Amino acid sequence: MARVNNNELEKDREWIQRSKEDPSAFQYLFDKYYNMIFNHALRRTCDSFLAKDITANTFLKALENIKKYECRGLPFSSWLYRIATNEINLNYRKIRRLVPLSEERIRQLRGDNKTDEALIQAEEKISQNKTFKKLHGAITALKLKYQNVLTLRYFENKSIKEISLILNLSENTVKTHIRRGLQQLKKRL
């Protein structure tokens, strides 16, 4: 698990305070956590264009609500994960309906916009990981509460405590959801 040291937390606090007074200061936090949220969204959706939308919505909502954010107890990165998880849950139906990246779709996307090349490459990379694709398919068929805990635990390497903060659940509930989620996943594999 990536542990956040006190200096980082202090620096975040300083930039959060600045962002509350001047929204343009939020760009520092955006730059710092952009890759983390994009990778999380991509691992949840397996679609780089949907992951891009989810990332943009996550930071837009964070920026809009930065004045309400209080550092007590919940690290900023966990707060971002919470917003991103809510965004992913809102797009759940879309994620279930997604089709694998086909040659035709790649051609179409390339024709639309050349700047999206990086996104196509990212999606191609993730599609090549067959075990991940198989697991992703099985996880997507589970209930959302199990999807949320399993992906945070095993794809984002979050501790039980951090997951409980992100999802606003007790640590015991998180442990129960992980165990039940794994049991459900076992039946599907």
Partner 1 sequence: MKDLHDIEKMLEKARPPDQDFSKTRRQIWQDILNRRKSQNKKGFPISLAPWIWVVASLVLIFICVLFMVFIHGVGSP
Residue 73 vs 186, nearer CB to partner 1 = 186
If phi > 0 it is left, if psi is from -120 to 50 it is alpha, else beta; for residue 168 that is left
Residue 49 touches partner 1, criterion: CB under 8 A: no
Alpha-carbon distances, residue 82 vs 62, 97, 112, 154 (angstroms): 10, 23, 32, 16
Residue 86 touches partner 1, criterion: CB under 8 A: no
Cα distance between residue 114 and residue 6, in whole Å = 41
Residue 63 touches partner 1, criterion: CB under 8 A: yes
Q: Exposed (0-12), middle (13-18) or buried (19+): which is 6, by Cβ within 10 Å?
A: exposed
Stretch that binds partner 1, among 70-78, 81-89, 141-149, 153-161 (CB under 8 A): 153-161
Q: Which amino acid is at 49?
A: F
The H or E element containing residue 32 is: helix 26-45
In the complex, minimum distance from the CB of residue 156 to partner 1, in angstroms, rounded to a whole number:
9
- The answer to whether 157 touches 2, Cβ cutoff 8 Å, is yes
In the complex, minimum distance from the CB of residue 52 to partner 1, in angstroms, rounded to a whole number:
7
Place of tokens 């955006």: 30
Per-residue mark of binding to partner 1, 106-145 (x: CB under 8 A): ---------xx-xx--x--xx--x-xx--x----------
What are the residues binding partner 1 (CB under 8 A)? 23, 27, 30-31, 34-36, 38-39, 42-43, 52, 55-56, 59-60, 63-64, 115-116, 118-119, 122, 125-126, 129, 131-132, 135, 150, 154-155, 157, 179, 182-183, 185-186, 189
